[in-house]
């Protein structure tokens, strides 16, 4: 029996890619394509899972409406703060039959890389992060690289590791990158690239490199479909795709 | 209080590197350096942990003697088969106060890479392995690459994934590499290299690469020291350093 | 003054990408879009340069017609053999005012990588090639990887280098790759990739890696436009974009 | 007939490695091992080529003495400024039978990578440099990375390319690296590494990466020996090993 799926924000870039991916998945049935402010309540009994790729202004209201309608939610829209997450968590506690996943990143390789870096960090003397994106990106470092560095830093602290060795005494400004909780992060901007990250972890005599390359939006679809299939078995609010990966 | 450590095979290449590493660790005390056939029984009450880098002909007898002596064992010597492991497992069950770790590889980056590949494999459409070693190596692929491929293959089978897509119809012999349980493995032999591996996992639009570079024997020491510190808390037989990494 | 450009095979995949690229170039003016068998003679006096991305059955006739019409030609269509090239070379010698470039590959990174590998090869003890493509590719290794290996092999022979060191005595079939003139070439097929190559050159203590990643057809356009701008200054037949790169 | 070689500074780290390398080369004969301030004049008629790995305080005097003695010189000692080079150039013009090579870097992979980056730079929209060294290094970026970036910048200027695209408007300090003549350079410091560089050059749809890994001092020896063999055919002063590579 296939899972009945609705897509909210179906006309947008991510939404239309999602519509195509749901169509192509033999175990999923696309039952509705809505605009950002579509009739979510009407999905009750019609859709099992709704995927929200709308806009920050609409997504929280959509999730509350989906909870009321008894429809599981997979949310890729950004803009969630702690207060909004708390409101959803509270609401979800009243609907133990419904699951909500809110995830900033559905690229499996990026999510896995971040998790692997955090797991490995306690075993290495040094760690640095290099991210590479197209030159139209406005912020540096990327959110993914910042999260990766924060995960490494937290793991090092948890393992009782101190500051990393660095004897640099003469440097051009910026040469050693940005400091994110004591982990150096470097941002490259290169025409033609999309979203790429290299994580370096080293000890005397060895180097572990974890690299992710995202070439286009299609890279998010395996993660979105995995979330659709898993959310029905995860009641309550889950934050981050890694919570569904059994890592 | 420091851990008292004996090194068996202390004059060998790995043994002498280990002696130096134990000396350099402030929480470890080197109390004995033995030859491959040294007096293991005499370590009772003298050493807490013995590290065995001897030879296949001596290592099993050493481990049984260490169990009798109540000394924890960390074993990097190769040549263990299933029957020998079973004999140690049985013996160890009579000494619940003693831990034995037998590990084919103490390079943390290689052990972690193998584990990460096995965890990630179920989420990707394709996976291949490339290993690079110095040209004096006799076997191809390396044992590490074969184990990596086997772990990927087992994970794919467990997740119900089928054969990987490959439309190749015209190929030079060997171009597509060696088939290890359905995972293609490629071996490069390059002057000046030591031991290197690249694991590629991909989906539409994304590529995850896990790379390890071992430059010299020093790369095994963080794993050996970690094993020494952990084996005292792991009674019974453990096989593979990954069992101590909490992955 | 802009260069007037005609595109032959304008409705095809490469042709339509080319049409868009010519439109976007401020120093080029698109004056004609023809089908594979369009009226090439009619381009006389109308176009300065014609770009041929048609089919093997049509391309040679197009080039002869362009020579007759006094229009420079940039040809990316495959299927040219030595005899066909000789016929064009002879014809071109009668039209010293017209240039013809026939190139199997317009990706600048791939053309440069091939050239750099050939230049560097004489200085290194070992060299191997790894290429990675999508799993719908029918042949292995790729033509680019074979050419790269042949260039390395020719350079080694020219420098008096002998066979590369390789002590492999026990190997799974295919592990060491395909032998192309004594250079080992390895082909990976990974979902989501397009066209990628890694060239490894090593000596005791050092490794030089040249890597190219082509993510989509857009990667051919800088090379096509460069060819258009250069062909007017290169009368006669030129084969391979590298002849225009001043390497 | 073998080339007779003297090593100045034979007891130092580079000098002793060089002595071993000359011993191992069948076409070279080691005829003298001198300290930094040894009797250079006495090499006249004894040595064909002298290799200077001494100290900045001694090297210039050594080179002038070698010119007087009619002995070719290969110099790896650092500390040469423009005035000192001019003095050697003037002196060498009086001895047209003697060649002098002064080179800051004998690692062939690094020298070739620098040259390839400079050649390729004019064909790419974007270029950035990442260097990785051990954490005991005092300066950032490395001299090699600075030279690489300067070569890229000069090539871009020569080809009339403008500033690279970069829309970054919000950045953590240092995220975008150091600015070297308009080329961004990033320095990583990782325990266990020696000297490594990645050069990224990209266009829409394609990425060219040139990577060098130096694992130990042995990596300089192929370049030193090549210089010894070539310097006898290059009278006058040559600066940089690339002048002998026929690039």
Name every residue whose Cβ is closer than 8 Å to that of residue C111 and which is 6 or more positions away in sequence.
Answer: C105, C223, C240, C241, C242, C245
Taken in order B64, B66, B69, B72, the sign of the CA dihedral is: negative
As a whole number, the mean pLDDT across chain C is 95
Return the SS3 of A155.
Answer: helix
Q: CA C4 to CA C84: how far, in whole Å?
A: 27
Nearest to C9 by CA among C108, D198, C18, A113: C18
Question: Do D108 and C116 make contact, defined as CB atoms within 8 angstroms?
Answer: no
- CA-nearest of D136, B168, A180 to C135 is B168
- Please indicate if any CB of chain C lies within 8 Å of the CB of A215: yes
> Is D42 annotated among the ligand-binding residues?
no
Q: What's the whole-number mean pLDDT along residues A32-61?
A: 94
Q: Phi, psi (5° rounding) for residue D133? A: -135, 170
Give the separation between CA B213 and CA B63, rounded to whole angstroms: 31
- Residues of chain C in contact with residue D201, where contact means CB-CB under 8 angstroms, are 109
Token duo for residue C228: 């258009």
CA distance D236 to chain C (A): 24
pLDDT grade, residue C24 (50/70/90)? very high
Task: List the one residue out of C136, C128, C163, C177 whose CA is nearest residue B172.
Answer: C177
Dist. CA D169–CA A137, nearest whole Å = 9
Query: What are the structure tokens assigned to B104, written together?
Result: 């084919």
pLDDT score at A36? 82
Instruction: Report the pLDDT averaged over residues B106-134.
Output: 96
Per cent of chain A over pLDDT 90 is 92
| Average of per-residue pLDDT across D219-238 | 95
**Owner of token pair 């000692």:** D77
**Residues 6 or more apart whose Cβ sits within 8 Å of residue C91:** C64, C67
Is the pLDDT at B62 greater than 80? The verdict is yes
- The pair phi, psi for residue D195, each rounded to 5°, is -150, 120
Phi/psi of residue B114, each to 5°? -60, -45
Give the pLDDT band (50/70/90) at residue B37. confident
**Catalytic status, residue C234:** no
List of residues 6+ apart from A9 with CB closer than 8 A? A15, A34, A35, A36, A52, A53, A54, A55, A58, A77
pLDDT value for B75 = 97
Residue appearing with tokens 């005390």: B29
Say if C218 is an interface residue toward chain A (CB within 8 Å).
Answer: yes
Q: How far apart are CA B5 and CA B11, in angstroms?
A: 15
CA C162 from chain centre, in angstroms, equals: 29
At residue C241, does pLDDT exceed 80? yes
For D:171-190, CB contacts with A below 8 A are 171-180, 184-190
Task: Please give the torsion angle defined by the CA atoms of residues B71, B73, B79 and B85, in that order, rounded to the nearest 10 degrees.
Answer: 80
Q: Report DSSP state, residue C134.
A: -
Residue D36 predicted with pLDDT over 90? no
Q: Cα angle at D93 between D88 and D98, to 5 degrees? A: 80
A35-52 mean pLDDT: 94
What is chain A's length? 247
Does the pLDDT of residue A79 top 90, yes or no? no
SS (H, E, C) A48-74: CEEEECCCHHHHHHHHHHHHHHCCEEE
User: pLDDT category, A5, cuts 50, 70, 90?
Assistant: very high
Q: At residue D246, does pLDDT exceed 80?
A: no
pLDDT per residue over C31-75, tens digit each? 999 998 889 999 999 999 999 999 999 999 999 999 999 999 999
The string of DSSP codes covering chain B is -PEEEEEETTTSHHHHHHHHHHHH-TTEEEEEEE-TT--SGGGTTT-SEEEE---HHHHHHHHHHHHHHT-EEEE------HHHHHHHHHHHHT-TT-EEEE-S---HHHHHHHHHHHHHGGG-SEEEEEEEE-TT--EES-HHHHHHHHHHHHHHHHTT--PPP----EE-TTTT-EEETTEEEEEEE-TT--EEEEEEEEETTEEEEEEEEE-SGGGGHHHHHHHHHHHTT--EEEESGGGGTT-
Helix (H, G, I), strand (E, B) or coil at A102: strand
- Angle among Cα B134, B138, B143 to the nearest 5 degrees reads 85
Backbone angles phi, psi at B8, to 5 degrees: -95, 135
- The predicted pLDDT at position D217 comes to 78
Decide if A141 contacts A131 (C-beta within 8 A): yes
- Give the nearest partner residue to D192 out of B192, B194, B215, using CB atoms: B215
What are the C-alpha distances in Å from D68 to residues B142, C24, C186, D9, D44? 56, 62, 54, 19, 9
Nearest Cα residue in chain D from B217: D192
What is the reported pLDDT for D218?
Answer: 83
Residue A179 vs residues A119, A141, C236, D184: alpha-carbon distances, Å? 20, 10, 57, 17
Tell me the shortest Cα–Cα distance from C210 to chain B, in angstroms.
Answer: 15
Helix (H, G, I), strand (E, B) or coil at A133: strand
Average pLDDT, chain A: 95
Please count the residue pairs, one from chain B and one from chain D, whose beta carbons lie less than 8 angstroms apart: 10
Task: Give the integer Cα–Cα distance in Å for A105 and B203.
Answer: 15
C-alpha distance from C187 to closest chain B C-alpha (Å): 5
A93 burial class (0-12, 13-18, 19+ CB within 10 angstroms)?
exposed
Selecting among B72, B133, B147, B186, the annotated active-site residue is B133
pLDDT of residue C37: 80
Stretch C163-169: mean pLDDT: 97
Q: Which of A203, A207, A222 minimises the CB distance to B123?
A: A222
CB A192 within 8 A of CB A134: yes
**Cα–Cα distance measured from residue A65 to residue A208, given in angstroms and rounded to the nearest whole number:** 45
| C-alpha to C-alpha distance for D132 and C134, rounded to whole angstroms | 31
Q: What is the tens place of the pLDDT at every residue in D114-143?
A: 999 999 999 999 999 999 999 999 999 999
Is residue A147 annotated as part of the catalytic site, yes or no? no
Residues with Cβ within 8 Å of C242's Cβ and at least 6 positions away in sequence, in order, are C111, C112, C114, C115
Tell me which long-range contacts A21-25 makes (C-beta under 8 A, separation of at least 24).
A21/A218, A21/A221, A21/A224, A21/A225, A22/A51, A22/A225, A22/A228, A25/A225
**What is the maximum alpha-carbon separation in chain D?**
66
Identify the structural domains of chain C with CATH numbers, from first to last. 3-102+218-244 (3.40.50.720), 108-215 (3.30.360.10)
Question: Could you tell me if B219 lies within 8 Å of chain A, comparing CB atoms?
Answer: yes
Of all residues in chain B, the percent with pLDDT exceeding 90 is 93
pLDDT band at D156 (very low <50, low <70, confident <90, very high): very high
Nearest-CA residue of chain B relative to C216? B205
Interval C160-180 mean pLDDT: 97
ipTM: 0.88
Are D227 and D174 in contact by the 8 Å Cβ rule? The answer is no
d(CA D15, CA C240): 45
Return the ∠ at Cα D147 (arms to B215 and D227), rounded to 5°.
70
**Arithmetic mean of pLDDT, C150-173:** 97
Specify the pLDDT at position A218.
83
- For range A55-80, the mean pLDDT: 95
Report which of C53, B4, C234, A209 is spatially closest to residue D211, judged by C-alpha positions.
A209
Which residues have CB under 8 Å from D183's CB, separation 6+?
D127, D128, D129, D149, D150, D152, D153, D164
- Number of residues in chain C: 247
Across chain D, mean pLDDT equals 95
C-beta of residue B191 within 8 angstroms of C-beta of residue C165: yes
Whether B77 has its CB under 8 Å from any CB of chain D: the answer is no
**Mean pLDDT to the nearest integer, A132-160:** 96
What's A42's DSSP letter?
G
Which DSSP symbol is given to A86?
H
Query: With a CB-CB cutoff of 8 Å, which residues 95-124 of chain D face chain A?
Result: 124
Beta carbons within 10 angstroms of residue A31's beta carbon: 18
- pLDDT above 80 for B246: no
Span B216-242, average pLDDT: 93
pLDDT at A1: 73
Residues 6+ apart with CB under 8 A from C90: none
Residue D205 is nearest to which of C209, C210, C214, comparing CB atoms?
Answer: C214
Identify the band that residue C137 occupies on the pLDDT scale cut at 50, 70 and 90. Answer: very high
Question: Average pLDDT, stretch C17-33?
Answer: 96
Task: Supply D13's token pair.
Answer: 């780290």
Are the C-beta atoms of residues A197 and A132 closer than 8 Å to each other? yes
Give the mean pLDDT of B124-146: 96
pLDDT computed for residue C104 by the predictor: 86
């Amino acid at each position: 029996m296939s899972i009945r799926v609705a897509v909210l924000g179906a006309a947008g870039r991510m939404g239309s890619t999602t519509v195509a991916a749901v169509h192509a998945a033999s175990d999923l049935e696309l039952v509705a394509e809505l605009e950002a402010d579509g009739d979510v309540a009407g999905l009750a009994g019609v859709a099992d899972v709704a995927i929200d790729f709308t806009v920050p202004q609409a997504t929280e209201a959509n999730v509350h409406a989906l909870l009321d309608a008894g429809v599981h939610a997979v949310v890729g829209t950004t803009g969630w703060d702690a207060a909004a997450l708390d409101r959803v968590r509270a609401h979800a506690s009243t609907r133990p039959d419904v699951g909500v996943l809110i995830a900033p990143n559905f690229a499996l390789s990026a999510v896995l890389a971040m998790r692997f870096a955090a797991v490995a960090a306690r075993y290495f003397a040094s760690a640095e992060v290099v991210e590479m994106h197209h030159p139209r990106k406005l912020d540096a470092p990327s959110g993914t690289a910042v999260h990766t560095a924060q995960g490494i830093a937290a793991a090092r602290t948890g393992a009782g590791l101190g500051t990393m060795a660095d004897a640099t005494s003469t440097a051009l400004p910026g040469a050693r990158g940005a400091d994110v909780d004591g982990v150096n992060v470097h941002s490259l901007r290169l025409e033609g690239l999309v979203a790429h990250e290299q994580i370096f972890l080293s000890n005397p005599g060895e180097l572990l490199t974890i690299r992710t390359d995202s070439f286009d939006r299609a890279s998010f679809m395996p993660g979105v479909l995995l979330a659709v299939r898993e959310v029905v078995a995860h009641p309550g609010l889950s934050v981050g795709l890694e919570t569904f990966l059994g890592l």
